[in-house]
Amino acid sequence: MGSGVGESASNLRFSYFHDQSAGFGFEVHRGNDVIFDTTGHPLIFEDQYIEVTSNLPANANIYGIGETPDYFRRDPNNSTKTLWNRDAADPFRENVYGSHSVYMELRQGKFHGAYLHNSHGMDIALANSTIQYRVLGGTADFYFFAGPSALAVIDQYTELVGRPNRIPYWSLGFHNCRYGYKSVYEVNEVVANYSKANIPLEVAWTDIDYMDKTRDFTFDPVNFPLEEMQKQLQSLHSNNQRMVLMTDPAIQHNASYAPYSRGHDLDVFIKNEDGSEFVGQVWPGYTVFPDWFSPNVDRWWHRELGEFFDKLPMDGMWIDMNEASSFCTGSCGTGKPADEIPAYPWTVDPPPPHRNINTTNLFLVPPYAIHNPLTEISDKTIETTAVHSNGIIEYHVHNLYGYMESRTTRDFLLQYRPNVRPFLLSRSTFAGSGALVNHWTGDNAATWEDLHISIASVLDFGIFGIPMVGADICGFNGNTTEELCARWIELGAFYPFSRDHNAIDMIPQELYQWDIVAEASRRALAVRYRLLPYFYTMYQHSVEMGWPVARPLVFKFPEVLAVVDNDRQMLIGDDILVSPVLVKGATTVDAFFPRGRWYDWYSYKEIVGTNANVTLDAPLEHINVHIRGGAIIPLQQSAMTTVASRKSDYTLLIATDSHGAACGELYIDDGETFDSAHKWVQFDYADQTLHVDQRSGGTFVIEQKLSQIVVLGVPDVEMVFVNGVPTKGDISTNNGSTVICNLDISLNNSTLVRFL
């Protein structure tokens, strides 16, 4: 039930009972359906172990629980999802960077959901027609969501944990990065090459390469001197482009390094049990870790970021390695003097034999071993016995580290630029992180398998309340190929967050490196940039109701059994169907079309969906995109930047359904500030008449005109009347559809357009 909703107004009912064999139990009912039922299973509550088991239907349709690279529909008969944040390069079906216990279930065409609010490590196991929680401590604080639609479940969940943050419009453009750029001059050349290739580029990102000896808040004086970085930022801004740089939480343990010495003086770093600073190993060598629970940490972190931004006022921030990641087990730098600095470049020593496991310390080795695939849960992260300033040990709050960093970092950005929407990207996330940050799916691989799984991962984060999400296009680890990269940008052009990124020592994979990839990029990104008004409108639904931008077919068509496990296609909103090629060497794709009318984006040709696959041609430079009949899609012209695109006139794409009707909407504001005026415009088409109505936000003025209307599925229009007055627009027919150009219709007033 939602905030302020009493039991009488809720669609859910709670009951408890005593089972003769299992003891106390409870049920959650939605009408006559029992959506959570512990009957026959004991509830176990111990100091370091909680077990709760609920019955499921046979072969249940379960979605969510992660973060883990996996197929979108979880295997209900043999899945164990571990929630323990870990720096791992996206191994299939293992735990990685974030922890999200929320799940959704589809039963007989209706969705419901459940969420366990607990920061401890846990396994959530699906087997034997049950879902079982095995948790390393805390409380069993459950929330249930009645649905009955998928979007309603996500609405109810994000009402609880926090609605997604408001993104700046520019973040919907295309981004480029790599780990391993050798100099600011190389980055400048990359930016210029995108322009020469006529491929849109919105944001130039730089990984840790820009830092002096990989230390936060510094600039390499030879390869990335501050003066040249400032020139780069000015040049990007002069072209309406942006800059984002990476910042890690680990701080070099170095008395002569001011961010460390100031933090040490303010007592803001995580401690060992004996009160000394916990010292791990990350990129700068021996490092300490900010304690986000410290009463002084905001003061310290904001100062360091403020001085950094004063030098280089970049447009967004990227926080990485915040699971937190450490390259050793335990406080491996403890006892070393703070002026002992490893020679640069510093590399991790060959790993010694693993330390003896201290089984007598139950916070290092809990009685129950979650399925974290390392020797100890402290491996590659902060020791679980390390102490925060509030006395809590890391064991209890490990999964919150990235969330807590996100919170204070976003607070800084809001204070540094009041009333300007920050863009913040984080690798580690927790329930509610979507209100603070956006996400990419981490260190994937340049493989066809990872291309496929990227769809499921993006869809997962729609459930988790983090709709601004994407995977590294063309793959991060390993060398991509021309074919794989072409197919990946075709799909990646439709990720909500669209960024090319790869690892150091891999071959360059900027989109202009191959002629075929460049052409595929121009085509796919031209579709994305035309769709920006639609993307932005869908994202406003995310802000207001938590709804994801990228959605699986099962969310829109839950009654169609064939789509319950479809993660080879995705919808943008409810209306744009993307059907990528995910198989090496393929030049066709079998795309599933639910019942109804669908229209090819490029040709306007109609496909009649029959709840079956249709084999579509898919040459290497092409991705199939279709519009759902019944939708009205607002478009603008594609361009090299979002600023240029937003200046162009609007097009309405009216895709009629079998009844000759369609509807849609447009949300628009300044795309930058929080207090922007806005406007919602409603579009309805029926009986050969389009109604344009101002739904809300009348103070915002849309300067661009509606200059083109395309009516799909309606041929032979001869006359167009705007508010009863015949227009001189140019009318043509294309594959059974009508295209009207050279219109001059204001979107600031209610308007009636009739087609005869």
The pLDDT tens digits for 143-166 are 999 999 999 999 999 999 999 999
User: What number of CA atoms fall less than 13 Å from residue 456's CA on the CB side?
Assistant: 27
pLDDT average, residue stretch 394-413: 98
Which helix (H) or strand (E) element contains residue 515?
helix 515-530
- Whole-structure pTM value: 0.97
> Is the domain of 276 the same as that of 155?
no
CATH number at residue 388: 3.20.20.80
In this predicted model, what pLDDT tens digit does every residue of 364-382 receive, in sequence order?
999 999 999 999 999 999 9
Cα–Cα nearest to 597, from 608, 587, 588, 611: 608
Residue 453, token pair as written in the block? 């799984």
Q: Residue 729: what pLDDT?
A: 85
Stretch (H or E) spanning 451: helix 448-463
Residue 641 belongs to some domain of the structure: no
196-253 confidence digits (pLDDT tens): 999 999 999 999 999 999 999 999 999 999 999 999 999 999 999 999 999 999 999 9
Give the domain-ending residue among 146, 161, 176.
161
Mean pLDDT of the 183-195 span: 98
Tell me: do 264 and 146 sit in the same domain: no
pLDDT for the residue numbered 619: 98
Whole-number pLDDT of residue 3: 52
Q: Is position 408 within any domain?
A: yes
Encoded tokens for 598: 């669908």
Task: Tell how strand 550-551 and strand 570-572 pair up.
Answer: antiparallel
| CA distances, 717 to each of 142, 203, 713, 726, 739 (Å) | 57, 42, 11, 13, 9
Question: Which pLDDT band, with edges at 50, 70 and 90, does 348 fall under?
Answer: low
Predicted pLDDT of residue 2: 46
**Do 42 and 149 reside in the same domain of the chain?**
yes
pLDDT on residue 687: 97
What is the pLDDT, as a whole number, of residue 4? 53
Q: Write out the residue range of the structural domain in which residue 726 sits.
A: 649-755
Is the domain of 286 the same as that of 157?
A: no
Which residue(s) pair with 133 in the sheet? 52, 124
Alpha-carbon span 674 to 657, nearest angstrom:
37
Model confidence at 171, in pLDDT bands (50, 70, 90)? very high
- pLDDT tens figures, 630-677: 999 999 999 999 999 999 999 999 999 999 999 999 999 999 999 999
**Rounded to whole angstroms, how far apart are CA atoms 175 and 152?**
32
108 and 253 fall within a common domain:
no
Q: What is the CATH number of the domain that holds 720?
A: 2.60.40.1180
3-class DSSP assignment, residue 304: helix
474 pLDDT higher than 90: yes
Same domain, 120 and 264: no
118, 252: one domain: no
CATH of the domain at 89: 2.60.40.1760
- Are 12 and 153 within one domain? yes
Q: Are 402 and 410 in contact (CB under 8 A)?
A: no
Q: Read out DSSP for 134-146?
A: EESSS---EEEE-
Instruction: Give, in order, the Cα–Cα distances in Å from 84 to each of 74, 122, 162, 395, 720.
Output: 18, 7, 21, 10, 60
Q: Report if residue 569 sits inside a domain.
A: no
277 and 407 part of one domain:
yes
Of 374, 398, 413, the one marking the end of a domain is 413
Region 521-546: what's the mean pLDDT? 98
Residue 351 has pLDDT above 70, yes or no: no
Do 650 and 741 form a contact (C-beta atoms < 8 A)? no
Quick check: is 126 in a domain? yes
Q: Residues 84-114: pLDDT tens digits? A: 999 999 999 999 999 999 999 999 999 999 9
3-state secondary structure 656-719: CCCCCCEEEEEEEECCCECCCCEEEEEEEEECCEEEEEEEECCCCCCCCCEEEEEEECCCCCCC
1-43 pLDDT, tens digit per residue, is: 445 556 667 899 999 999 888 999 999 999 999 999 999 999 9
Tally of domains within the chain: 3
Residue 9 pLDDT: 73
Q: Which distant-in-sequence residues (6+ apart) come within 8 Å of 585 by Cβ?
A: 483
Which pLDDT value is given to residue 1? 40
Same domain (yes/no): 12, 157: yes
pLDDT at 656: 98
Overall average pLDDT of the 248-266 stretch: 97
pLDDT of residue 339: 80
Please give the DSSP secondary-structure letter assigned to residue 158.
H
What pLDDT, on a 0 to 100 scale, did the predictor assign at position 19? Answer: 87
Arithmetic mean of pLDDT over the chain: 96
Let me know whether 127 and 254 are in one domain.
Answer: no
Which of 124, 144, 161 is the C-terminal boundary of a domain?
161
Say what percent of the chain tops pLDDT 70. Answer: 98
Q: For residue 635, is it within any domain?
A: no
Residue 583 has φ and ψ, to the nearest 5°, of -125, 130
Q: How confident is the model at residue 577 (pLDDT cuts 50, 70, 90)?
A: very high
Cα gap 135→23, rounded to integer Å:
20
pLDDT at residue 554 above 70?
A: yes
Active-site residues: which are they?
A: 320, 323, 443
Tell me the two tokens of residue 679. 């406007």
Is position 528 within any domain?
A: no
Residue 54 has pLDDT above 50, yes or no: yes
In a domain, 184, yes or no: no
Burial tier of 546 (Cβ tally within 10 Å: 0-12, 13-18, 19+) = buried
Residue 384 inside a domain? The answer is yes
